[in-house]
């Protein structure tokens, strides 16, 4: 599956700086609101050291990592859902994303204009309110028509009930993603691609000093719990661009960091969305595939090609660590580490798989 993350936030919080650092792009960065007019899109390979090691075993130079698409949305302001600033025209670009990356400014710099307050919590509430108001407009536009249709078609009643629940929650200012009330009805809301139904990862943009530790980090993390919080410095992420791996590690360690913002954000996205990756390997290529946790072997095969799922027979599975330890698939097979799994097999993160099918 393709993973897409929409980057949102108030104007001048560092969205485009972060986007450029994550994607190695060169989106316009300016010290004034609404520097981003059209959304910038960048496709980023998911760092995965397993692929290079598999490529050595299978003697192939072709490595195809999983990817994440980042979409940098124009900065929003209070009243965006009613057309203030650049209006809600840009909210449409978030609807196709799997998750929202909400960038929040948590640094002070008199040289960078500030569209919001000096309180990250208040700034978060502004964006959440605008997303909820945009959703409420969508629901209110759809619900009366659906209620009318349901009178002639009782099968639509569950969809009506789901939208009525969503409307009530949005009127209370509650995001839909966090609501257990709508879990069973999520399929009824899927076609509307409501913004607050999408999981949110909060990325706090810190200065380099705060990034190295302190009570503010704990405060920010607790502020958005149970959502994931990623603490980065967009400035530091920019400095990592163009450095080789050794220099990146050295620079990160000098700030007390083990991973780049990109790696942290991808991990948070996979965890939030309940995703994992499995691997396929051969002489032609080694590749990582993103799949939902709990997916069966036929469902995973369908990511490669729909015919694989339709004609699924079995999956030859070996654990990545067992394969590396054995040194080859033949040796792993001789050691009894290669298993044949059927239709009910649940995919695991370190699976290296060859699917057998017949169509």
- pLDDT at residue 241, rounded to an integer: 84
State how far the alpha carbon of 124 is from the alpha carbons of 119, 142, 272, 282, in Å: 9, 27, 19, 47
CATH topology of domain 3-271: Rossmann fold (3.40.50)
- Per-residue pLDDT, averaged over 175-181, amounts to 78
Give residue-wise pLDDT tens across range 48-75: 999 999 999 999 999 999 999 988 876 6
Phi then psi for 37, rounded to 5 degrees? -95, -60
Residue-wise DSSP of 279-315: EEE-SS-EEEEEEETT-BHHHHHHHH-HHHHHTEEEE
Phi then psi for 205, rounded to 5 degrees? -90, 105
Axis crossing angle, helix 120-152 with helix 215-224, rounded to the nearest 10: 10
pLDDT tier for residue 24 given thresholds of 50, 70 and 90: confident
CB atoms within 10 A of CB 238: 15
What is the chain's mean pLDDT, rounded? 85
Is the pLDDT at 29 greater than 70? The verdict is: no
Q: Which of 50-59, 87-96, 162-171 has the lowest mean pLDDT?
A: 87-96
Reduced 3-state DSSP string for 23-36:
HCCCCCCCCCCCCC
- pLDDT at residue 207, rounded to an integer: 86
- Per-residue pLDDT, averaged over 216-240, amounts to 90
User: 64: which strand partners?
Assistant: 287
- pLDDT at residue 73, rounded to an integer: 76
State how far the alpha carbon of 180 is from the alpha carbons of 194, 196, 321, in Å: 16, 13, 38
pLDDT tier for residue 86 given thresholds of 50, 70 and 90: very low
Q: Domains of the chain: which residue ranges?
A: 3-271, 294-357
- pLDDT at residue 188, rounded to an integer: 64
- Per-residue pLDDT, averaged over 6-22, amounts to 85
pTM of the model: 0.85
Q: Is 359 helix (H, G, I), strand (E, B) or coil?
A: coil
Give residue-wise pLDDT tens across range 251-297: 999 988 999 998 999 999 999 999 999 999 999 999 999 999 999 99
- pLDDT at residue 60, rounded to an integer: 95
Q: Which of 19-33, 177-191, 207-221 has the lowest mean pLDDT?
A: 19-33
* Architecture per CATH, 294-357: Roll (3.10)
Is the pLDDT at 185 greater than 60? The verdict is: no
Is 196 within 8 Å of 177 (Cβ atoms)? Answer: yes
- pLDDT at residue 32, rounded to an integer: 33
- pLDDT at residue 30, rounded to an integer: 37
């Amino acid at each position: 599956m393709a993973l897409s993350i929409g980057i949102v936030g108030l104007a001048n919080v560092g969205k485009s700086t972060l986007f450029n650092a994550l994607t190695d792009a060169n989106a316009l960065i300016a010290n004034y609101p609404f520097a981003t007019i059209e959304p910038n899109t960048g496709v980023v390979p998911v760092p995965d050291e397993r692929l290079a090691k598999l490529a050595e075993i299978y003697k192939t130079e072709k490595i195809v990592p999983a990817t994440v698409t980042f979409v940098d949305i124009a900065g929003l302001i209070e009243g965006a859902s009613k057309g203030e600033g650049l209006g809600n025209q840009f909210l449409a670009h978030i609807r196709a994303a799997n998750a929202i990356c909400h960038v929040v400014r948590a640094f002070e710099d008199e040289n960078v204009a500030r569209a919001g307050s000096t309180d990250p919590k208040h700034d978060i509430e502004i964006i959440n309110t605008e997303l909820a108001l945009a959703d409420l407009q969508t629901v209110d536009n759809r619900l009366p028509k659906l209620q009318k249709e349901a009178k002639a078609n009782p099968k639509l009643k569950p969809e009506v009930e789901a939208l009525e629940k969503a409307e009530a929650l949005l009127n209370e200012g509650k995001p839909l993603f966090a609501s257990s009330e709508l879990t069973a009805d999520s399929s009824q809301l899927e076609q509307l691609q409501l913004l607050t139904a999408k999981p949110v990862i909060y990325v706090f943009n810190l200065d380099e000093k705060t990034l190295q530790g302190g009570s503010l980090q704990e405060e920010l993390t607790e502020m958005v719990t149970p959502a994931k919080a990623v603490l980065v410095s967009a400035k530091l992420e920019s400095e990592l661009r163009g450095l080789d791996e050794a220099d990146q590690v050295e620079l990160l360690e000098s700030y007390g960091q083990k991973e780049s913002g990109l790696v942290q954000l991808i991990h948070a996205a996979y965890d939030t969305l309940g995703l994992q990756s499995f691997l396929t390997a051969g002489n032609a290529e080694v590749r990582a595939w993103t799949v939902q946790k709990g997916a069966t072997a036929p469902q995973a095969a369908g990511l490669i090609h729909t015919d694989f799922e339709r004609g699924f027979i079995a999956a030859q599975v070996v654990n990545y660590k067992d394969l590396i330890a054995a040194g080859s698939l033949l040796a792993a097979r001789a050691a009894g580490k290669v298993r044949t799994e059927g239709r009910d097999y649940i995919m695991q993160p370190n699976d290296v798989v060859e699917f057998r099918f017949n169509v």
